[in-house]
Structure 1
């Protein structure tokens, strides 16, 4: 499997320097080959995750694979194609989910809520206001010991409206995306223990996802 996993990065590296529809059309067989390797790898992982957590809606790894095309309607400056494969497992559209990112320069396991609309962010902040200690304990006891970090780049510079600067969870309240991530190496991905690493990470991240999804659930 190690040798076949290398096909993924060989394809992505070539794509990133030949980022055009013409090149992709000529090398579609390599794209399909890379996807097949990912499906073969992630199908058993997803099966195990679904046994552990039947709420996961993706029926198979092929459905969990994100599109490799960038959305150029809203971001016309982006390249035609992404330089990574993304695999996402979750509970439905608009909810916090679990994500594995396999890119040319960056590999990581992540989870959370990315750039939510303002009404969801408001609900999340209300939950942090009342139940922030629960979230803080989840981060400190379940996620940080497993190598996860809180994504800090997307946050307000000052306290959000309605919350004081001396709030005990002000740093969490400032977040505009609430997500955690764990950096990986290609060595982690090539390892025979990769499947175990993904499954253990999923188990660790579920209480974090549940906190977010409870906060933003439709009444």
Structure 2
């Protein structure tokens, strides 16, 4: 079993996204899922070795469900078109996510849509020491890996309690603090894929640490 079979399964599922097909191919799905669980377990061990602050995440807790929640998304397909793993999974921990999909794969992390309390704490940290965060996200290797944080949902004005001319107003307007590194199917299928994921994680550690320290205060 390899990632070739994972994407073959996703392609077939995409063409036959219904319960009857899944029931007929349930054994194949479990083979693919078991492979993914094994890969996630290995990644979890690797991340524990390089980051003492990493929260160990059992594979069955990390892996995304294949079923869409039709209660909240009644018009969605019955099954998702991807496999995902959410690592470092715990309250007030900065997420680390690996997403493998027919429509685009990526490695990402940070606080996406943080709670109001978390967002307020991050903004307070930026007000106090935004220079540190700017130093982290402007580092050459960080920019080469992730580019810039998206300001798609950023506020148009200053958040309550902060001046429009604040020296870190660009960061204070952010509503999410997350970054993403796109990956191709070819990269996923390469022998060194896990090493690549670990390398991306290492690049994100200072960013995670800044955010986690902020929300823990």
TM-score of the aligned structures, taking structure 2 as reference length: 0.88
Question: Once the two structures are superposed, what CA deviation does each residue of 1:82-126 show, in whole Å capped at 9, x if it has no partner?
Answer: 211111211513532111110111111100112122222111111
How far residue 19 of structure 1 moved from its aligned partner, in angstroms, is 2.6
Q: Distance in 2 between matches of 1:68 and 1:93?
A: 24
Q: Mapping of 1:7-156 within 5 angstroms?
A: 7-141=5-139, 142-156=141-155
* Contact 1:149–1:182 (CA under 8 A) maintained in structure 2: no
Question: Once the two structures are superposed, what CA deviation does each residue of 1:6-57 show, in whole Å capped at 9, x if it has no partner?
Answer: 1111222222333333332222222212222223333332212111224433
Higher mean Cα deviation, 8-17 or 194-203? 8-17
Question: Once the two structures are superposed, what CA deviation does each residue of 1:130-150 show, in whole Å capped at 9, x if it has no partner?
Answer: 121111111111521334442
Q: CA RMSD in A?
A: 2.1
In the alignment, what sits opposite 2:159? 160
* Contact 1:83–1:103 (CA under 8 A) maintained in structure 2: yes
Q: Distance in 1 between matches of 2:56 and 2:186?
A: 27
Aligned structure 1 segments of 4 or more residues deviating by more than 4 angstroms: none
CA 1:121–1:14 in 2, change beyond 3 Å: closer, same or farther? same
How far residue 198 of structure 1 moved from its aligned partner, in angstroms, is 0.7
Q: Distance in 2 between matches of 1:132 and 1:118?
A: 19
How far residue 168 of structure 1 moved from its aligned partner, in angstroms, is 2.3
Higher mean Cα deviation, 105-114 or 13-22? 13-22
* Contact 1:57–1:91 (CA under 8 A) maintained in structure 2: yes
How many aligned positions are there? 216
* Contact 1:58–1:64 (CA under 8 A) maintained in structure 2: no
Matched, 1:178 2:177: yes
TM-score of the aligned structures, taking structure 1 as reference length: 0.87
CA 1:144–1:61 in 2, change beyond 3 Å: closer, same or farther? same
Structure 1 gap ranges (5+)? none
